[in-house]
Structure 1
Amino acid sequence: MTVLLILLVILAVLALVVPGTAVRVLREYERAVVFRLGRALDVKGPGLVLLIPVVDRMVRVGLRTVTLNIPAQEVITRDNVPAKVTAVAYFRVLDADRAVIEVEDFLAATTQIAQTTLRSVLGKAELDTLLADRDRLNDDLQKVIDQQTEPWGVKVTTVEIKDVEIPVPMQRAIARQAEAERERRAKIINAEAEFQASAKLAEAAAVISRNPTTLQLRYLQTLREVGGDNNSTVVVPLPIDLVRPFLGPTGPPQRAAETVDGQALSGSTNSP
């Protein structure tokens, strides 16, 4: 009787334990790599997977895209500027069989490959390229990392540089350089503006010189602008003829002086 009770207990325990070890349910995004006596079988799932207790061992692999935060890496750029760079990588498992058999831990291996590649690729670029041409660097990082993880059945889809931290003294030097560049551009723009303005003034002077009335009209227009609506200045227009003597010597006085000098010269030659 005692032996029969022991057998019943053993059978009850087996009835509870065996289904838990022999039956697995995989979700839609999961696959199972089953090893039977150490040999890999075909990839199972999704759905119900039946295993032989003690004989089979199952490794569960997810096929969803994994977001991998690459820790901050100390990088020295090609122009000898130290920087601390952080990035993020997105990858997913395409072949669950190779992801389990070819590498011990594909997540840790991908993380180490991403860190090493980040330092090596960014170390070949200059600081200006690192700050202004991130799209090309992201593509280079994605291609290099994907080539190294492809034998493991892992596909790296995207790599993005998140942040570039530069030391404070270097930030000040970059700010001074940018300020000097802006001052240089401002001086060039002012010089070009002066050149264009002088050309336009020369053209205006040529037009005004052909018609003296134009100068008088321009004079009156200037007076009108000075005496605006909200201005208390009283403007009294004067004829341009009154101002003309103050503009400089004219032609007739010079000819008169030459005539006088000529008469004086002739008078002096005719005197005994």
Structure 2
Amino acid sequence: MMLDYIAYSLLAIIVIAFLSSAIRILREYERGIVFTLGRFTGVKGPGLIILIPFVQQMVKADLRVMVQDVPPQDVISRDNVSVKVNAVLYFRIVDPERAIIKVGNFMAATSQLAQTTLRSVLGKHELDEMLAERDKLNADIQEILDQQTDAWGIKVTNIEIKDIDLNENMVRAIAKQAEAERLRRAKVINAIGEQQAAEKLVEAGRILAQEPQAMQLRYFAALHDIAGERSSTVVFPLPMDLLSHMTPRPGGTS
């Protein structure tokens, strides 16, 4: 009886071990790459997977979008400015067979490729372009990465440049440049205002010249405005044609 009990127990353990190694369950976002005696025989999943123990092995692949930080890279721009740039990379597996078979470690390979591509692409642009045209640079880097990782069954969905770190000297230089640009714009706006004011004055002078009495009325209006100011001295030009009515005419009476 004791021997029978031990035999049944061993048999139950063997059956349980067999089933545990033969039955696998894959989630919706997982795929299993199955190898039979070392040779690729197919991609399984999701759901219940049955393998032949000791004959078949399975490697899991996650199809979800993966996020990976690209470490800070020392980049020299086309105008010889040294900056540190880091980014974040989004990618996913679209072909589990190639992602497992074609490359030893697709995570490390994609990360290294992203670092070299980031340095290569940004080195072709000037600093102003790096700061102002990030969307275009992101699209260029993504396109290059996507083309090179396609052979690995990897789809690069997006890459975003996070930070561009400048040294203090360059920050001060950019601040001076921005201040000079603001002063230039202020001078241009002031000159445009002077030009428009001069044009309006010329137009007003032409209108007033059409009627001589209009100029006299304008003088009186200006005098009224000056009288409202708190000033002890008022200098006002008096038209000579007004004095002609007050001075005696030659050969006549005053």
Task: State the TM-score, normalized to the length of structure 1.
Answer: 0.81
In the other structure, the counterpart of 2:247 is none
Equivalent residues of 1:75, 1:123 under 8 A apart? yes
In the other structure, the counterpart of 1:199 is 199
1:108-127 alignment runs, 5 A limit: 108-127=108-127
Equivalent residues of 1:146, 1:155 under 8 A apart? yes
In the other structure, the counterpart of 1:94 is 94
Provide the C-alpha distance between the structure 1 equivalents of 2:19 and 2:227, rounded to a whole number of angstroms: 103
In the other structure, the counterpart of 2:129 is 129
1:215-234 alignment runs, 5 A limit: 215-226=215-226
Partner amino acid, structure 2, of 1:124: K
In the other structure, the counterpart of 1:106 is 106
Partner amino acid, structure 1, of 2:217: L
Q: Equivalent residue of 2:71, what SS?
A: strand
TM superposition shift of 1:206: 2.8
1:70-85 alignment runs, 5 A limit: 70-85=70-85
TM superposition shift of 1:5: 4.6
TM superposition shift of 1:196: 2.3
Partner amino acid, structure 2, of 1:77: S
TM superposition shift of 1:203: 2.5
Structure 2 counterpart of 1:244, from 217, 234, 239: 239
1:15-34 alignment runs, 5 A limit: 15-34=15-34
**Are 2:37 and 1:42 equivalent residues in the alignment?**
no
Q: Equivalent residue of 1:195, what SS?
A: helix
Query: Tell me, which stretches of 5 or more residues in structure 1 are unaligned?
Result: 251-255, 257-272
> In angstroms, what is the RMSD of aligned CA positions?
2.8
Query: Tell me, which stretches of 5 or more residues in structure 2 are unaligned?
Result: 245-249
Equivalent residues of 2:34, 2:42 under 8 A apart? yes
Provide the C-alpha distance between the structure 2 equivalents of 1:68 and 1:221, rounded to a whole number of angstroms: 75
In the other structure, the counterpart of 1:267 is none
Q: Equivalent residue of 1:54, what SS?
A: coil
In the other structure, the counterpart of 1:184 is 184
Q: How many residues matched?
A: 245
Q: Equivalent residue of 1:11, what SS?
A: helix
Provide the C-alpha distance between the structure 2 equivalents of 1:224 and 1:9, rounded to a whole number of angstroms: 119
TM superposition shift of 1:185: 1.8
TM superposition shift of 1:3: 5.1
Equivalent residues of 2:35, 2:42 under 8 A apart? no
In the other structure, the counterpart of 2:13 is 13
Q: Equivalent residue of 2:239, what SS?
A: helix
Partner amino acid, structure 1, of 2:87: A
Provide the C-alpha distance between the structure 1 equivalents of 2:21 and 2:241, rounded to a whole number of angstroms: 115
Moved more, 7-16 or 70-79: 7-16
- 1:113-140 CA-to-partner distances (Å, cap 9, x unmatched) read 1111001110111101111111111111
TM superposition shift of 1:212: 2.2
TM superposition shift of 1:226: 4.5
Which has a greater percent of helix?
1
Equivalent residues of 1:227, 1:234 under 8 A apart? no
TM superposition shift of 1:245: 4.6
TM superposition shift of 1:223: 3.9
Task: State the TM-score, normalized to the length of structure 2.
Answer: 0.87
Partner amino acid, structure 1, of 2:184: R
Equivalent residues of 1:130, 1:137 under 8 A apart? yes
- 1:82-128 CA-to-partner distances (Å, cap 9, x unmatched) read 11111112111111011100011111111111111001110111101
State percent identity of aligned pairs: 51
Q: Equivalent residue of 2:11, what SS?
A: helix
